[in-house]
Amino acid sequence: MTLHDFAALENVEFEASIDLFRAAPEDVRVAHAVEVCDIGAATCLSCRGAEPAAVFRRVVRLGVGRATSEEEVDQVLAHMNGRGLQYAVPVTPQSEPPALPSWLERRGFVRG
């Protein structure tokens, strides 16, 4: 699979997830702090009170389709940390740059 093919397939899932969050009715959005926030090429999805965190509080597109930078990683993590909730940052072998997993590990993330 080429990086282009991988990014195209990942973006199908990402767009569906983002649409799900954006489709939440206003009263649900307010009651559960449902939020979609774009930072660089990444999109941060958060929702208070829903589990699992890997579905309802996660960062998508980080390192997919284009290489991310440590500065962008720090901006994304600062945003998500500001919610005060556990969240996930999916990383695959195709994520760019290859150093992304080690950048996250240095910031306290564990593979899972």
Q: Say if 10 falls within a structural domain.
A: yes
Full-model pTM: 0.89
Residue 94's pLDDT is 85
Q: How many domains does the chain have?
A: 1
Q: State the pLDDT confidence band at 65, using cuts at 50, 70 and 90.
A: confident
Of 85, 37, 80, 42, which Cα lies nearest the Cα of 60? 42
In 3-state terms, the chain is what percent helix, strand and coil (to 5)? 45, 10, 45
For residues 69-77, average pLDDT: 98
Task: Report yes or no on 87 lying in a domain.
Answer: yes
Share of the chain above pLDDT 70, in %: 99
- To the nearest whole percent, how much of the chain has pLDDT over 90? 73
Q: Which two tokens stand for residue 104?
A: 């996250």
Which residues span the domain enclosing 102?
A: 3-106
Residue 4 has pLDDT above 90, yes or no: no
Write the CB contacts of 11 (distance below 8 Å, at least 6 apart in sequence).
61, 64, 65
In a domain, 111, yes or no: no
Report yes or no on 112 lying in a domain: no
